[in-house]
Amino acid sequence: MKKYIMAIAVALATTFGVSAADYAYTLVLNRTDGTKSNFLFENIPVATIDGDVLTIVENISGLSVELPISEFASFTFDKEEIPDGINNVASNYGNVTFGLSRETLDVMGLSEDVTIMIFDAAGKLRVEGRSDVNGAATLNISGLDKGVYIVKAGNNTFKFIR
C-alpha cells in the first residue's frame, strides 16, 4: 500500500519588518461539515495521510486528530496579532488556503497575479502558476515524484511530502 505523507512546516519564513507586535500562527484544519480544528505552529503540527486517513499530531502538546480523508476539505494558515496590553485589538490579516490532493494544489485567498512556486528539496523550481483575478490558482502536481516540496505563494510558504 502506498503511503502519502504531508508535513506542515513550522518555519514560516516571512519577514514583516521591524515591529513590536507579536503574532500567533495557526494551522486550521477545515472539515467538510464546516467545523475547524486549530493547531498552533509553536506546537509543531505534522499532518500525515495514510490511505484514506488524515492524522495531525502536535509534536509539543501531543494533541492528535484523526479523520477520514473524505471529511477533510482544506487547511489554512492564520496570523493574529497578540495583544500587548497597550493595543488590545487583535487583527487578522486574512487567510491563504491551500488544498492538497494527489493531482492538484489549490490556493485561495491571495491577491491577483501572485506567483505560486513549488520547489523540490534541492531548490529546483518544479511547478509554477499565478493567481487569477479572484486570488485563486490550481496547480497540477501529478507529475511530481515522491519527495519533499516547498510551496511559496507570496509571503506564504509550507512544505509537503509526496
DSSP string, 70-117: GGEEEEEEEEEEEP-SS-----B---EEEEE-SSEEEEESPPTT-EEE
119 vs 34, higher pLDDT: 119
Q: Say whether pLDDT at 80 is over 80.
A: no
Spatial contact of 108 and 114, defined as CB atoms under 8 Å apart: no
Entry pTM? 0.46
Percent of the chain exceeding pLDDT 70 equals: 77
Per DSSP, what are the bridge partners of residue 82?
22
pLDDT in the model for residue 82: 59
Q: How far, in Å, CA of 40 to CA of 85, rounded?
A: 22
Mean of all residue pLDDT scores within the chain: 73
Q: What's the burial of 156, exposed, middle or buried (CB within 10 Å: 0-12/13-18/19+)? A: buried
54: cell is 488524515
Residue type at position 114? V
Q: Which residue has the cell 485563486?
A: 136
First to last CA, the chain: 14
Which of 5-9, 32-36, 71-75, 152-156 has the weakest average pLDDT?
5-9
Cell representation of residue 133: 483575478
**pLDDT for 4-15, tens place per residue?**
333 333 333 333
Spatial separation of the C-alpha atoms in residues 48 and 109, rounded to whole Å: 24
Q: Strands across the sheet with 148-153, in order?
A: 125-130, 115-120, 148-153, 156-161
Could you read off the pLDDT of 85-134 as tens digits, one per residue? Answer: 433 323 233 577 778 888 888 888 888 889 999 998 888 999 999 999 98
81: confidence class by pLDDT, cuts 50, 70, 90: low
CA distance 74 to 47: 12
Q: Is 62 left (phi over 0), alpha (psi -120 to 50) or beta?
A: left
